[in-house]
Amino acid sequence: MGLLVVAIDGPSGAGKSSTSRGVASRLGLRYLDTGAMYRALTWACRTRGVDVHDQQAVAAAVADVRLESGTDPLNPTIHVDDVDVSGPIREQDVTDHVSAVASVPQVRAQLVERQREIIGEGGIVVEGRDIGSTVWPDADVKVYLLADPAARATRRAAEQGGAVPVAATEADLARRDAIDSGRTASPLAKAPDAVVVDSTYLSLEEVIDSIVAMAVGS
Ligand code: DC
């Protein structure tokens, strides 16, 4: 498994994080959450008062941010300039603004370069939107993880402890999918050679089992 790279892409709420961490733990691989990297730069913009719709301002603000992503699947960490932002990046304010920041070409270029450095050390499961299509097209295993919108919203709402109604969560996921799929710089896209896994009617363990089997057979 030493240098294996497993790419897991797909829309929000399809179960990428739990699946990716589970696959990495089972195979003794590292884990990288690229969504957390976009969220961390969004947090940096918001705490600095940068207008996330001003692409030049966003690009300038994030150019010298020091981002550290820990790759232990049992304890993934993320720091911005030595501040632990693993909690704040999950807050609604970051969720509301992350698609705008992720659509800035300089942000993507900066993060894709960093992601390639981390992946290049090998032995890793990477989750995101553009890993198999853009970041690491040579990944040994490429999965596009889907679930139907109602299932995704139900799971996301449960993760939020029932604080947000399922219908509002479904609308928010649809809004983010539309922005993520419609942007010009590496949009959410299934790589032509990715294997589609639909998790709507599968348990987490069943999804993990199927991807572990692909990795072992690769
Ligand atoms: O997976 P997530 O919800 O934490 O991702 C947060 C946002 O980052 C999401 O709106 C899409 C964006 N993203 C991206 O554009 N490219 C990636 N490789 C990962 C996430």
Pocket flag, ligand 1, residue 101 (CB < 6 Å): no
At 120-167, the pLDDT tens digits run: 998 999 999 999 999 999 999 999 999 988 888 888 788 777 778 888
Ligand 1 atom at minimal distance to the Cα of residue 103:
15
- Give residue 1's pLDDT: 59
Ligand 1 atom at minimal distance to the Cα of residue 135:
18
Residue 183 has pLDDT above 70, yes or no: yes
Instruction: Give 10 or 186, the one with higher predicted confidence.
Output: 10
Ligand 1 atom at minimal distance to the Cα of residue 12:
3
Give residue 160's Cα distance to chain centre.
Answer: 17
Residue nearest to atom 18 of ligand 1 (CA): 128
User: What is the bridge-based pairing of β-strands 78-80 and 67-69?
Assistant: antiparallel
What number does CATH give the domain 5-211?
Answer: 3.40.50.300
Q: Please provide the average confidence, as pLDDT, over all residues in the chain.
A: 93
User: What is the bridge-based pairing of β-strands 5-9 and 83-84?
Assistant: unpaired
Pocket flag, ligand 1, residue 176 (CB < 6 Å): yes
Q: How many helices (H) and strands (E) does the chain have?
A: 8, 8
Instruction: Give 185 or 52, the one with higher predicted confidence.
Output: 52
Pocket flag, ligand 1, residue 170 (CB < 6 Å): no
Cα-Cα-Cα-Cα dihedral sign, residues 53, 57, 61, 64: positive
Ligand 1 pocket test target in 9, 31, 34 with most atoms within 8 Å of CB: 34
- Give residue 180's pLDDT: 80
Residue 83 has pLDDT above 90, yes or no: yes
* pTM exceeds 0.75, yes or no: yes
User: In the chain, where are the structural domains located?
Assistant: 5-211
* SS3 of residue 30 by DSSP: strand
At 49-76, the pLDDT tens digits run: 999 999 999 999 999 999 999 999 999 9
Ligand 1 pocket test target in 17, 41, 98, 173 with most atoms within 8 Å of CB: 98
What whole-number distance in Å separates Cα of residue 97 and Cα of residue 45? 10
Residue nearest to atom 6 of ligand 1 (CA): 35
- Give residue 162's pLDDT: 77
Structure tokens belonging to residue 201: 């009617």
- Distance from residue 70's CA to the centre of ligand 1 (Å): 17
Task: Please give the biggest Cα pair distance in the chain.
Answer: 49
